[in-house]
Amino acid sequence: MLGRECHSNPPILNSSSGVGYVTNIAGLNSYVTGSPNAIILIILISDIFGYKAPLFREIADKFAAKGGYRVYCPDMFNDDPFDPENENRPLPVWLEDHEPEKGFETVKPFIEALKSEGASSIGAAGFCWGGKTVSDLSKSKLLVQTSVLLHPAYVEKDDISAVEVPIAILGAQNDTITPPSTIKQFKQVLDAKPEVDSLVKIFPNVSHGWTVRYDTEDPEAVKAADKAHQITLHWFDKHLK
């Protein structure tokens, strides 16, 4: 499941980007944005570049502003995002310290803390690396009420089979990490679970990472990313409000 697509077009990380602020919740630093009075929350789980990526935070700000949500972006990597310039620590080595399978246990106390503070319902979206964490969260209605996977990585059919909450999966036509054939398998699994509302869409002419690492100077790339963001927000509106 590894490939250059995982770290193409890397962002320039900026801890001061976004209109929100950073706070610590259950041991995880988190970028927080949106109304402090909101009790319907969204959690965004990042790709390998982490929670300081400007476009990632921009998505959080967009969901907060347009949907009226309070949005949380936890630092899943303890201030250790992937650095493609570090030749001594290629992606397979970095992943030894940040296994996607361990994301669930990392974020579970975070979610429990938010619930104890009064959250009425929570939606989660995972990008690339974060897709595995969110797919695992989706296996329990006690943790999140709905979820979205955007060009997920490390997600298997068995993960989708165990999903209990409404889920949307947005894949890319030109994705070698989770190719359309795999996304179609996910759809078959979900079609056999009519009790779980689902949406599966493969976007044409885009590659892995297109929703969060797009070229802001390319109108078509911006349009495709914005469409995915709109679908994600509408999915949350449908199942959280």
For tokens 């619930």, the residue is 115
On the question of pLDDT at 181 being above 80, the answer is: yes
pLDDT for 17 equals 82
Do 150 and 131 touch, CB atoms closer than 8 A? yes
Reported confidence tier of residue 15, pLDDT bands at 50, 70, 90: confident
Do 145 and 237 touch, CB atoms closer than 8 A? no
- DSSP one-letter code for 90: -
- The predicted-structure confidence for 187-215, as pLDDT tens digits, reads as follows 999 999 999 999 999 999 999 999 999 99
pLDDT for 8 equals 65
Q: Which two tokens stand for residue 1?
A: 């499941």
Question: Helices 129-137 & 103-116, crossing angle to 10 degrees?
Answer: 60
Task: Extract the runs of DSSP E, i.e. beta strands, from the chain.
Answer: 21-25, 28-33, 40-45, 70-74, 121-127, 146-150, 167-174, 198-207
- The predicted-structure confidence for 114-157, as pLDDT tens digits, reads as follows 999 999 999 999 999 999 999 999 999 999 999 999 999 999 99
Non-local CB neighbours of 164 within 8 Å, separated by 6+ positions: 138, 139, 140, 141, 196
Separation of alpha carbons 181 and 238, rounded Å: 27
Quick one: average pLDDT of 3-25?
A: 76
> What are the structural domains, with CATH classification, of the chain?
12-240 (3.40.50.1820)
Reported confidence tier of residue 7, pLDDT bands at 50, 70, 90: low
On the question of pLDDT at 6 being above 70, the answer is: no
The model carries a pTM of: 0.95
Percentage of the residues of the chain whose pLDDT score is greater than 70: 94
pLDDT for 5 equals 57
- The predicted-structure confidence for 51-68, as pLDDT tens digits, reads as follows 999 999 999 999 999 999
